[in-house]
Structure 1
Amino acid sequence: MPSAGLAPRRILQLSALFAMFALYAAQLVSALVPHVPLFVATSAAGLALDVYLQYRQPGLLSLLGKVRFDVTVRQLLRDMLILVGLLRIDGIEPLGEQAPLLIALLGVYVLHFACQAAAVLVRRRRQLPIVTRNIDTSALRLSSAPPRILSRRSSHRLLTFSIPATAGLLVTAATTNALWGGIGIGVALALFLGGTFYLATWLLPKKRRLSDERVMAWLDEWLAAYRPTVAMYFSGGTTSAYQANMWLSTLADVDGKPLIVLRERFMVNKIDATDVPIICFPKVATMFSLENSTLKMMLHPANAAKTSQVLRIPTIKHAFINHGESDKLSSCNPYAKAYDEVWVAGPAARDRYQQADVGVEDKDVVEVGRPQLSPIEIGTGAAQDKPFTTVLYAPTWEGWDGNPGNTSVVLAGENIVRHLLADERVRLIYKPHPMTGSQVPAAGAANERIKAMIQEANARRSGTRPDARAAAELTERAAELHRLTSTSFRSSADEMERMMLQGEPDPGRSAAVRAATTAWEEAYWASFPEWEHLIVTEARPAIFTCFNQADVLISDVSSVVSDWLSSEKPYAVANTSGLSEAEFRLGFPTVSAATILTPEAVEVPRLLATVRGETEDVYAEARLELKEHLLGPSDPPSIDRFNGAVRALCGRADERRVRAEAREAAEIPIQRDDSPVEQVTLVDEDAPENTVAG
């Protein structure tokens, strides 16, 4: 069921479409009658509405494009109706005055298509075989992009540049003086012609990019100079970048020269602020430049369709590091056996792979802990002295299979939130998974209802709020963080221009970003009163920051639970699988130290009493044991174990290269200068028939 907030918007969109077709109908009728005032008004209103929707509601007009009623057809129909009106209006000679206007108007369309052809050519010439970030690209002679209205917005260009022609023709209709139409069309011709010639200057040698061969040669030189050893490989959709972003801090601290390898062009700017060099290889052929580099190993935070392509490179070792561990089947995917090693947090994941029997051998599983959990603070005990108990409800999403046991949002979410909001001493932080509702509409609808419940509960609460200085501090910190983590781009900037601007980062930027992020987080929490419930749906504040604010977690079977155990604080897991509590605990080891919530969530008051120290915390010791079982020992630190695994796998890559070079030397003996030379004739497969190459 669509949410109430969307209904007015849809009504407005349908009204706009109805108004557009009504204006076309009125334009046709007033042209045939003819009724000059109505004809001029409806023609002008139709163009104005089209321009407005093109700039403000492009998604709505894309629906018309799917039925082939795109902007070119709409403008052509509008101009045709104007010419019909001019034929019917007394005082305008069809052959003497209108024929030149018709010919000139056809010239406008010819130039429009010429400008579009130039735009396509320019875009293709400006697309590089690779995309980089955090790398000095000055040697590639990159240039700024042409204006967006000329190069990438053909719909905006046609409508905007046609305004003078339409206005001139309508003045001619009102005055019966063809001169005005000629002036308007002349201005439109000048705009299209000037735009086409200006756009064509990007094809001249001064602005033309280097050839693909020279770009790839430059990349080989950069790789030889930088000498990367460890890369993180990532491929995915627009909402999956978080899977790579969670490993950025670890990659920055890795032993060796790190590199990020991407496969989708859009992903380059989805990766969060980092000083690690980024290279995107949209095509497989370009990616094999890595084979001849010093790169020894790749880290894979996710399985993707394009992962198999990079696994073909024999000189590189591969380790699967995942983007979180849980008891879900996705945490022991059979695809993992394609990698040289599978890196897991602790013994629990090792056991999970062996029990799943998916082909991953125990010798290939390496326990490295979870280095990115270092920001999580360990709990200090019961929260009985606090005026408010902060509860973090962080449900996962419904998953690809839509199993009702995946997420608690649909079957238990509203009950959980209702019980929490009924306790006046509870402060709720609701942070749903960003993909909630993407597979099952019912999950998205339940998510919206939960948010509405929280907003309504906030409206009933009152108390002292932080003064204006807190809000000002947050604004200032947000501006500083944005300045450090974002590169300002013109609205017309294309991929090449962004690549030019996102060159080698300034020294010390990563440390400044970490400090600015910490300052922003402190300002964020200080800007809200301690009694106010919060709905967190943006990337910031991050989930680990929410962990540090919360006294207890309520979640589902997901990696959030495993990460939370690092804090040693109480937690609860919703059981919407249909299993009994005993079966649920047996089937999902990560919940063995949790309070289990049924879909009715009647266990919430008991959970809160435990957190406040009013009843015994019977799972306290079990949480400590489970923490080590899931995440491994605290000593040595996880980052040390991770770096040890990096060095070991790099060593295996070095050993393989030595063996490969030895085999190559044995199979292809070097010819001595004094040895007889045997005449060999080689057949050139690309040469014409009956010819040979020596």
Structure 2
Amino acid sequence: MTRIRTGTALALLALGYALQLLGVLLAGAVPAALGAALGALTDTALLAPSQRPVARWLGRTQLTAPVRQLLRDGLFLGALVRLDTLRPDAAGAWLLGAVLGCWALHFLCQAVAAAVRTRRRLPFVIQNIDGSGLGLTPAPPRLFARQGTQRLAAAGLLTTAGMTVSAATESAQGAALAASLCCAVLLAGTARLSAWLLPGRRVVDEERALDWLDGWLADYRPTIGLYFSGGTSSAYQVNMWLTTLAALDGRPLVVLRERFMVRRLDTTDVPVVCLPRVAHLMRLEHSTLRVLLHPSNSGKTSQVLRIPSIKHAFINHGESDKLSSCNPYARAYDQVWVAGAAARERYRLADIGVEDKDVVEVGRPQLAGIRPAPGTPREDGRLTVLYAPTWEGWTTDPGNTSLVLAGEEIVRALLADDRVRLLYKPHPMTGTVDPRAGDADRRLQTLIAQANARRAGPGPAPEAVRALERATAQLDRLTAQAVRASADEVERMRVQSRPEPGRADRVAAATERWEAAYWAALPPYAHQVVTGSRPGVHSCFNQADLLISDVSSVVSDFLVSEKPYAVANTSGMSEEAYRAAFPTVRAATLLTPGAADVPALLATVRHPERDHFAAARRELKTHLLGPAEPPSRARFNRAALALAAEAEARNARQRDLVGDGPAERVVWTDIVGEAESEGAPDTPQALAEAFGDVGDDERPEGP
């Protein structure tokens, strides 16, 4: 569905109310009915997922769905009074009573739904873990338990239709019948929902749930975990490490902090535990967990760093020459794992307190699927160029992203070459900080759509399209889970309470087949805007003959292929200063903001004898990503085992020092220090509150 802009939605709603008011003033059935229908249909359109930003904006202005519906019903009832349809007789009393009953039952249903959700919320969320001991029960009907806005919209459409019939027939019975039907459905749904408040439908309470979690940790005995906290658009940062985590020796575990993030994880067989509260997070201290890997920094990272029995390694979600790749926060970790010597040197030059002995080179294990460059260029000179700009970042530096200052010029220059197929893949967080970047992204997508409209050529082969449909259906079957479709956490956990070993491998194989079918089904001349989770950026690497990007981890990863790449210099620095400041671009062609050098760049790709950076790319690849042998996964696994051994040695020393005293006193001594002797609390719950337990901090589930 085409997204309705906020201004358009406001205009449609205002027009509907104006028509209804006109119907009241003029005693006109037609404007009253048209206005109510326009408003009801607009509200129905706003239920689409693409319209959620508009619905949220309306909610912030207090023009929520119930307010809009109440106003609409009030105006229509006023019009019925003016039309002498709503009289002080039995039919009129029936109509008023039924409408008021609808609203009363709607609010009662909302209250019961809130009570059910409260009683079904456990203090944690699990995935790929047998949770049968938690009393997990099927979810109640979503229309009554979760979808209050949808339920209200359906009731509004029915009552609006009934009042329209009454306005046309000058009889209150049509509206009264429609409202009575709404009452009956709401009453039945609320009664059905109330059954989930009975003891047999409830899940275990918090204390029993936490006891169960302690028991599961004791049975599973995790050794290494991946810790992540972030916003909705940052899930890619944890997803890129799931396969690597699953391949490590030991018993891996994913530890999340936000409930919504569980639904945004890619398919994995690794057990997942989400612990929103600090007090519950601290229970990991008494487990066998020895190492936590951190792909990003967040405010909640400091909370888990308080556990001294666990060693912490910062693995980042990508390396580049940007300042964020050597953040001073990194010194809070026990070790910083980097790809190669370039990052070690970056930390040394940054002088931010990270000691060289704490930097461990492990390579980039995720890059195994990137294919090397082909031996010879295409005879017809056709090229596939990937433009993958990074996002604007948290600072105002003009060189963060090329989108704002150079994006349009780069894309125009590429589209001007008839033998170029452009793949445009913007960063997932584009426009989240600087609206100008989001505007530039939309302009580029428009340019690409216009260019495709001008290009004529044969469409995809029917068999290729059918193959893509089959691959999509197969992949969707493997990845589609009730946990992704349901907003009920207990239902998600119930569905996933029986882990399926090997499912991640099956999904990976299906994804590979889907990517092959996807590229085969695209016309070879058609430009593509690639967004969403698939195809991934590495799949785009394998299609591209040339990458154009900014200073980002995309450049470092692309170097595995040893294909040519270019970086847009929008920093205002000279070429010499830019190359000195950002070593990852020393084997790149630098583009000016005007993109006048794009034709010459394309010529060097078509004629490899003009490519003067080939040797420099091979050298830089090793400098950035480390040697090819031993493989990165082996080095990563070796680093994990070594750090786990360090943690175990430290814990053994602590046990020798304090004996077999209470575990809580032993662990928290390192955190509270002398404060404990001054009467500070000494229980995990009290200490968590004293040190800033921020609670669930989760995103709303939707309307």
TM value normalised by structure 2: 0.87
State the 1:362 CA deviation: 0.8
Aligned to 2:550: 556
Q: How does 1:152-167 map to 2 (within 5 A)?
A: 152-161=146-155
The separation in 1 between residues aligned to 2:135 and 2:451, in whole angstroms, is: 58
The separation in 2 between residues aligned to 1:179 and 1:417, in whole angstroms, is: 63
Contact 2:5 2:54 in 1 (8 A): no
Contact 1:395 1:556 in 2 (8 A): yes
The separation in 1 between residues aligned to 2:392 and 2:584, in whole angstroms, is: 19
Asked if 1:194 is matched to 2:188, the reply is yes
Q: How does 1:251-262 map to 2 (within 5 A)?
A: 251-262=245-256
Aligned to 1:525: 519
Tell me the SS of whatever aligns to 1:477: helix
Q: Which amino acid aligns with 2:453?
A: A
The separation in 2 between residues aligned to 1:94 and 1:413, in whole angstroms, is: 67
> Which of 393, 404, 411 is matched with 1:417 structurally?
411
State the 1:168 CA deviation: 6.2
Aligned to 2:304: 310
Bigger shift: residues 565-574 or 177-186: 177-186
Contact 1:228 1:257 in 2 (8 A): yes
Contact 1:51 1:160 in 2 (8 A): no
Change (3 A) 1:240 1:492: closer
Asked if 1:13 is matched to 2:5, the reply is no
Contact 2:233 2:429 in 1 (8 A): yes
Contact 1:165 1:186 in 2 (8 A): no
The separation in 2 between residues aligned to 1:92 and 1:299, in whole angstroms, is: 68
Q: How does 1:325-344 map to 2 (within 5 A)?
A: 325-344=319-338
Q: How does 1:377-456 map to 2 (within 5 A)?
A: 377-383=371-377, 385=379, 387-456=381-450
State the 1:462 CA deviation: 3.8
Contact 1:87 1:94 in 2 (8 A): no
Aligned to 1:674: none
Q: Which amino acid aligns with 1:151?
A: A
Aligned to 1:221: 215
Change (3 A) 1:434 1:79: closer
The separation in 2 between residues aligned to 1:614 and 1:195, in whole angstroms, is: 70
Contact 1:40 1:174 in 2 (8 A): no
State the 1:311 CA deviation: 0.7
Aligned to 1:671: none
Q: Which amino acid aligns with 2:22?
A: A
The separation in 2 between residues aligned to 1:96 and 1:576, in whole angstroms, is: 75
State the 1:437 CA deviation: 2.5
Aligned to 1:692: none
The separation in 1 between residues aligned to 2:38 and 2:525, in whole angstroms, is: 52
Bigger shift: residues 558-567 or 525-534: 525-534
Contact 1:230 1:259 in 2 (8 A): yes
Change (3 A) 1:224 1:329: same
State the 1:125 CA deviation: 0.9
Q: Which amino acid aligns with 1:17?
A: L
Asked if 1:24 is matched to 2:16, the reply is no
State the 1:187 CA deviation: 3.7
> Which of 630, 639, 647 is matched with 1:636 structurally?
630
Bigger shift: residues 453-462 or 327-336: 453-462
Contact 2:259 2:274 in 1 (8 A): yes
Contact 1:389 1:551 in 2 (8 A): yes
Cα deviation digits, residues 324-354 of structure 1 (max 9, x gap):
1100000000000010000001111111111
The separation in 1 between residues aligned to 2:647 and 2:15, in whole angstroms, is: 66
The separation in 2 between residues aligned to 1:419 and 1:95, in whole angstroms, is: 75
Aligned to 1:690: none
The separation in 1 between residues aligned to 2:193 and 2:230, in whole angstroms, is: 34
Change (3 A) 1:42 1:316: same
The separation in 1 between residues aligned to 2:326 and 2:487, in whole angstroms, is: 42
Contact 2:17 2:39 in 1 (8 A): no
Q: Which amino acid aligns with 1:626?
A: L
State the 1:663 CA deviation: 1.3
Q: How does 1:493-504 map to 2 (within 5 A)?
A: 494-504=488-498
TM value normalised by structure 1: 0.88
Aligned to 1:604: 598
Asked if 1:41 is matched to 2:33, the reply is yes
Tell me the SS of whatever aligns to 1:326: coil
Change (3 A) 1:413 1:382: farther
Q: Which amino acid aligns with 1:358?
A: I
The separation in 2 between residues aligned to 1:492 and 1:105, in whole angstroms, is: 31
How many residue pairs were aligned?
663
RMSD: 3.0
Cα deviation digits, residues 134-165 of structure 1 (max 9, x gap):
11222222122222221223333345346666
Contact 1:163 1:188 in 2 (8 A): no
Asked if 1:624 is matched to 2:599, the reply is no
Q: Which amino acid aligns with 1:16?
A: L
Q: How does 1:224-235 map to 2 (within 5 A)?
A: 224-235=218-229
The separation in 1 between residues aligned to 2:503 and 2:232, in whole angstroms, is: 26
State the 1:87 CA deviation: 5.3
Cα deviation digits, residues 353-404 of structure 1 (max 9, x gap):
1111111111111111111111112224452645412222211111111321
State the 1:185 CA deviation: 4.9
Change (3 A) 1:645 1:106: same
Asked if 1:458 is matched to 2:452, the reply is yes
Q: Which amino acid aligns with 1:609?
A: A
The separation in 1 between residues aligned to 2:419 and 2:563, in whole angstroms, is: 18
Aligned to 1:250: 244
Bigger shift: residues 641-650 or 169-178: 169-178
Cα deviation digits, residues 410-433 of structure 1 (max 9, x gap):
222222223333333333222221
Identity rate of aligned residues, in percent? 55
Contact 1:521 1:545 in 2 (8 A): yes
The separation in 1 between residues aligned to 2:59 and 2:271, in whole angstroms, is: 40
State the 1:178 CA deviation: 6.3
Bigger shift: residues 108-117 or 325-334: 108-117
Bigger shift: residues 280-289 or 575-584: 280-289
State the 1:241 CA deviation: 0.6
Tell me the SS of whatever aligns to 1:366: strand
